[in-house]
Amino acid sequence: MHSDRDIVERRLRRVLDERIRPAVHALSVPLDVGIWQVPGEPVPVAEGLAADYRPTGAGAHWGPAWTTSWFRLSGRVPEEWAGRRIEAVVDLGFDPSEPGFSAEGLVYRPDGTAVKALNPRNAWLPVTEQAAGDEEFICYVEAAANPLVMHSGPEDHSYAITPLGGRAPWLDEPGASGGEPLYRLRRLDLAVFDAEVYELVHDMEVLDQLMRELPEQSPRRWQILRSLSNALDAVDLQDIGGTATAARAILAPALAPPAASGEHRVSAIGHAHIDTAWLWPLRETVRKVARTVSNVTQLMDEHPEFRFVMSQAQQLAWLKEHRPEVYERAQEKAKTGQFVPTGSLWVEPDTNITGGEALARQFIHGKRFYLEEFGVETEDMWLPDTFGYNAAMPQLMKLAGVRWFLTQKISWNTTNKFPHHTFWWEGIDGTRIFSHFPPVDTYNSDLSGAEVAHSVRNFQDKAGANRSLAPFGYGDGGGGPTREMLARAERLADLEGAARVSIEKPGDFFAKALEEYPDAPVWVGELYLEFHRGTLTSQIETKQGNRRSEHLLREAELWAATAALRTGAEYPYEALDRLWKTVLLHQFHDILPGTSIAWVHREAEETYRQIAAELHELIASAQTALAGPAGADGSEVVFNAAPHARGGAAALGGAVRTRREPATVVPVAENGGHVLDNGLVRIVVDERGLVTSAYDIDADREALPPGGVANLLQLHQDFPNQWDAWDVDAFYRNTVTDLTDAESVTVVDGAVKVVRAFGASRVEQTLSLAPGARRLDVDTVMDWHETEKMLKAAFPLDVRAGHSTAQVPFGHVERPTHTNTSWDAAKFEVCAHRFLHVGERDWGAAVVNDSTYGHDVTRDVREDGGTTTTVRLSLARAPRFPDPDTDQGTHRLRYALVIGADVEDAIREGYHLNLPERTVPGSAEVAPLVSVDSPAVVVETVKLADDRSGDVVVRLYEAHGGRATALLTPGFRIASATATDLLERPRAADEPSCAVVEGGVRLRLRPFQILTVRLVPERG
């Protein structure tokens, strides 16, 4: 027999797409349509239902960008359709290639209850299961004219932005597009749903997809091909409905053979990744959540086997607030086990930039919401789309009662393929969490034959395991699973030649995977994403807002708790809860990394300003209560919220001082430059404003290499191959301009002020050295107006450092400074929080900062045999997508060089830079509410317990990477002390880390251990 494979396959594609699929709704009549365009922001449902509609119909244009239009659809079911299932087909002008990224709608009954959503691949509505004939149908559609800002997919960076600085108008708020409609109504019909044709579609589709994945030499492939060919012959293209049954009968034998007993098992988990903001604003996400949950709960009614996970508590909280009737449906389906709260977090946050305490609160608020609203103790962390994972996460997960971890994003690595799909992830303290990385390589699977087959081929752990997970459902913009996906899953449950697919909950998968593979391999340390490195720098104001909010919240809790115990002041529980949740919301992995449209970031910046203003008020109120009346001598209380003493003020306490002018080191002119010398270090700034010497007087050692200059601003061309705001590609280093020219170098207020201009930008830097400090502070005001450029600040150091040490949440990580392997070379841009340190055995230096996360560390051996290790901070970028005005404007940031520093010094100076002293008129010493006698143990949080019992909660950690024993001394009498989990619940009775002794609480901590201690004050 001659091969006709190509002909049959091409014939099948055309007949299926052009004839059989349309025949599912072949019999139809048009609906009557009315439209009302909302004049501003979205309105309540009742207002939409009561609006004044004008007639419209198929072919009409609607929807300027970001606006909302309401449609009223009505019609009568023809009498001759009696007894048949009737659906409405509503195509608002969808782009079928982009579900969740363009126009969407939510359908309501006349009483205002939600039915389901409409999106590009889900354009049908249930009308009646069995028509009586001549019955009236009416519904309303709240349609969002969301613009298609970007074509999705990792290989496609087709942006809605024109070359050479132009911009698509819909990147901004409503009205920017001039009112031009984006969409045109296509089809709005009542139609008969032909179930037999629908089933034929999926019989053919599943067999076709399976066939194309089988080897050409496989007999099974050719058997399927012949069955499909015969079925096509049986289909009368003029009577598809009448011949569908016969065609299905021909295909039945091909669908009957079961899978081999050893076939790979795929646990299909219904999912809809909903970016809490990205190419749409927060307000639109509120509506996306309502649409998605309406979709999946409707699907659950018809498919009891369907299971769906939702992973962000914030989104469910929005649903409860804005659409309580949809939320009630979710709760009902949770009771049946179909709707599965998961993830354990408030949102799916960035975990590179988010601070340690904030990550703890992500778990606290996420888990507590699920417990209170659904009665569910979540046990997994679901973070498929975050851009890398810090090495403190395993311990935080365990402390929150989380047993399993799922991610997918590491499949986007551009240099090294991650070696495992099921593994134990070990954090910096030694905690291990059982983890899975779905080999389907997407968190938006549609359960196609190609994706299922890819899961099997791609699975890295075949020698020891035979099970993987596939999150299925349209996502990013939401939407979720469809009935078509469930039809595929049903056929792939037990089909020869395919993996066995079963729909189940994440916990079921993880329990089976662990039982099958308990000795899975171990990955130690951070999960570094070899991609999206630009997210450490893009959108300065958003990152600064987060960093400063985290520290302000620390201060507010500390001083409010101290005032509550010392003065009886009221503790602001509600305000702190609300403010924390707002900060956690903005840590979502497309807000904090700086990868959302301008609208999102402008709103975030304004929100951060409001947060700061409210927290400053809370802090001032508590400090005023603690400081007492001002003394006649003009005394003031200096409050120190840092975990290390300074300036006479104890850590976490306040000291009385007589008001005086702050001491400064006055520069001395020398050879056209200036010298700052405080007896500990000597800094030379030349006539160009560059630091030419940073001399450690005690160690008799120069920090800079011969001929080297520090605080050198360097400008790079920054045009990555794709994903502008997300990516920094290694070739950016090929072009660099050293900014050595200065407009002026002057002495101002005891400091050296340097002004530089370049391109369209201007930078003013103030270099100062305080008495008793080994820290050269650089206060930078930057008026940034570059395009596709990146600005770095370089500190070359005369240090042979084999590794750098960077602060991460609750500890630090060491990374090689060499590029021996491709894994090392790929880390050419890395994250550090408050500090990055390099050093030799007995001497080192650190760069600390107040709002910068992107760093790079390189080293070079000089001709004199010495080694130069260069630390650079990434100060600014200028990507054009998705916000063409990214970071344009004025910014202030601070960083510093700490000379002759070990890691302990770097930790201390990082906290001090981020938690400046506060001065309040008063005369009362403020003893710390708690103190710790070991420099290795850092107090991260002091607050009152969330249950409003008045107990004091202290969270601390071992910061140096070694074992520590310390005495925690409360500044009040305690009845008991208990080690707790993150939710402030007692841990196991045999917890050895915390014991009450005379004078306080004895702590024993392993390297980088996080410990939460609940102190019960004596009462009465």
Position 379: which residue type? E
What CA–CA distance (Å, rounded) separates 892 from 520?
A: 48
Give the contacts of 517 (CB within 8 A, at least 6 positions apart).
422, 461, 464, 465, 467
In degrees rounded to 5, what are phi and psi of residue 582? -70, -40
Radius of gyration of the chain (CA): 31
Which of 194, 385, 441, 905 is catalytic? The answer is 385
Rounded Cα distance, 711 and 657, in Å: 34
Which helix (H) or strand (E) segment holds residue 391: the answer is none
In whole angstroms, what is the distance from residue 559 CA to residue 246 CA? 77
| 818/816 Cα distance (integer angstroms) | 5
Residue 802 burial (C-beta neighbours within 10 Å; 0-12, 13-18, 19+): middle
Cα 926 from chain centre: 39
Backbone angles phi, psi at 307, to 5 degrees: -125, 140
The two structure tokens encoding residue 308: 């769906």
Q: Which amino acid is at 565?
A: L
DSSP-derived letter for residue 17 is I
Rounded Cα gap, residues 693 and 683, in angstroms: 6
Is 385 known to be catalytic?
A: yes
CA distance 81 to 84: 6
Q: Assess contact for 561 and 944: CB atoms under 8 A.
A: yes
CA-CA distance, 399 to 413, in Å (whole number)? 29
Residues whose CB falls within 8 Å of the CB of residue 973, separated by 6 or more in sequence, listed in order: 1017, 1018
Give the C-alpha separation, 876 to 534, whole Å.
10
> How many CB atoms within 10 Å of residue 958?
25
With b for 16 or more beta-carbon neighbours within 10 A and e for fewer, the 772-795 pattern comes to ebbbbbbbbebebbbbebbbbbbb
CB neighbour list of residue 467: distance below 8 Å, 6 or more residues apart: 264, 265, 266, 267, 422, 509, 512, 513, 516, 517
Residues with active-site annotation = 385
